[in-house]
A and B are shown apart, each in its own frame.
Chain A
Amino acid sequence: MKAGRFWSWVVFALGAAYFFIPLIATVEFSMRMRRGVYSFDAYKVVLGDARFQATFGYSVLAAIFTIILGVLIVVPAAYWIRLRLPQLRPVVEFITLLPLVIPAIVIVFGYIRMYGSNSPLPFLATDTGTNALLVIGYATLALPYMYRAVDTGLRTIDVRTLTEAAQILGAGWGTIITRVILPNVLIAVLSGAFLTFAIVIGEFTMASLLNRPAFGPYLQNIGANRAYEPAALAIIAFAITWGCMSLIQILSRFAPKSANRPN
Chain B
Amino acid sequence: MADPFLSIQHVRKSFGATTVVEDFNLDVERGEFVSFLGPSGCGKTTVLRMVAGFEEPSAGKIVVGGKDITRLKPNQRNVGMVFQAYALFPNLTVAQNIGFGLKVAGMSKADIDVRVAEMLGIIKLPQMADRYPYQLSGGQQQRIALARAIAPKPKLLLLDEPLSALDAKVRVSLREEIRSIQKKLGITTIFVTHDQEEALSISDRIAVMYGGKAEQVGTPFEIYNRPATKFVANFVGTLNVLEGTVTDAASGKVRVNSEEVLLKGKLNGSKSGDTLSLALRPEAISLGRQPGRDSSLSGEISEVHFLGSVIRVRVGIGGNTVSLDTFNSPATPPPAVGEKAEISFSSSDMLVLH
**Which residues of A approach B to under 8 Å, CB–CB?**
157-158, 161-162, 164-172, 175, 179-180, 183-184, 256-263
Q: Is the interface of B mostly helix, strand, loop or mixed?
A: loop
B90 touches A165 (CB 8 A): no
B134 touches A170 (CB 8 A): no
B106 CB to nearest A CB, Å: 10
Answer whether A168 and B91 are a contact pair too, CB < 8 Å, given A259-B134, A259-B141: no
The 4 closest A-B pairs by CB, nearest first: A259-B133, A169-B101, A257-B134, A263-B138
> In the complex the two chains form, what is the Cα distance from A260 to B141 in whole Å?
9
B75 touches A157 (CB 8 A): no
> In the complex the two chains form, what is the Cα distance from A162 to B145 in whole Å?
12
Answer whether A260 and B100 are a contact pair too, CB < 8 Å, given A168-B52, A170-B152: no
> In the complex the two chains form, what is the Cα distance from A175 to B101 in whole Å?
11
Greatest chain A CB density within 10 A among B76, B85, B132 is at B85
20 A-B residue pairs with Cβ-Cβ distance under 8 Å, sorted by A, are: A161-B87, A162-B87, A164-B87, A166-B89, A167-B54, A168-B74, A168-B79, A168-B81, A170-B104, A170-B105, A171-B75, A172-B75, A175-B104, A179-B100, A256-B90, A257-B90, A259-B88, A260-B85, A261-B134, A263-B138
B167 touches A168 (CB 8 A): no
> In the complex the two chains form, what is the Cα distance from A102 to B292 in whole Å?
88
B158 CB to nearest A CB, Å: 8
B149: which A residues are within 8 A, CB to CB? 168-169
Is B173 among interface residues, defined by CB-CB distance under 8 A? Answer: no
Q: Kindly list 6 other residue pairs between chains A and B, CB separation below 8 angstroms, not including A166-B100, A169-B100.
A: A164-B87, A168-B149, A170-B104, A259-B133, A259-B134, A263-B137
Answer whether A169 and B87 are a contact pair too, CB < 8 Å, given A257-B132, A259-B132, A263-B137: no
Answer whether A164 and B75 are a contact pair too, CB < 8 Å, given A259-B134, A263-B138: no
Is B80 among interface residues, defined by CB-CB distance under 8 A? Answer: yes
Interface size of B as a range: 35 or more
Of all chain B residues, the one with the shortest Cβ separation from A176 is B75
A263: which B residues are within 8 A, CB to CB? 137-139, 165-167
A258 in complex: contacting residue of B78, B87, B134, CB < 8 Å: B134
A263 CB to nearest B CB, Å: 4
A175 CB to nearest B CB, Å: 6
A172: which B residues are within 8 A, CB to CB? 75
> In the complex the two chains form, what is the Cα distance from A172 to B73 in whole Å?
10
A168 touches B90 (CB 8 A): no
Is B125 among interface residues, defined by CB-CB distance under 8 A? Answer: no
Greatest chain A CB density within 10 A among B90, B132, B167 is at B90
Is B83 among interface residues, defined by CB-CB distance under 8 A? Answer: yes
B83 in complex: contacting residue of A157, A164, A171, A257, CB < 8 Å: A164
A37 CB to nearest B CB, Å: 54
B87 in complex: contacting residue of A158, A175, A179, A257, CB < 8 Å: A158
> In the complex the two chains form, what is the Cα distance from A78 to B74 in whole Å?
23
B101 touches A260 (CB 8 A): no
B81: which A residues are within 8 A, CB to CB? 164-165, 168
> In the complex the two chains form, what is the Cα distance from A204 to B266 in whole Å?
89
B86 in complex: contacting residue of A167, A175, A260, CB < 8 Å: A260
Is B148 among interface residues, defined by CB-CB distance under 8 A? Answer: yes
What 1/0 mask marks residues of chain B from 49 to 62 whose CB sits below 8 Å from any chain A CB? 00011100000000
> In the complex the two chains form, what is the Cα distance from A11 to B261 in whole Å?
84
B91 touches A167 (CB 8 A): no
Of all chain A residues, the one with the shortest Cβ separation from B101 is A169
Of all chain A residues, the one with the shortest Cβ separation from B134 is A257
Is B337 among interface residues, defined by CB-CB distance under 8 A? Answer: no
Answer whether A158 and B91 are a contact pair too, CB < 8 Å, given A169-B101, A170-B152, A171-B104: no
> In the complex the two chains form, what is the Cα distance from A179 to B90 in whole Å?
11
A154 CB to nearest B CB, Å: 13
> In the complex the two chains form, what is the Cα distance from A169 to B88 in whole Å?
12
> In the complex the two chains form, what is the Cα distance from A45 to B21 in whole Å?
76
Of all chain B residues, the one with the shortest Cβ separation from A258 is B90
B74: which A residues are within 8 A, CB to CB? 164, 167-168
B278 CB to nearest A CB, Å: 44
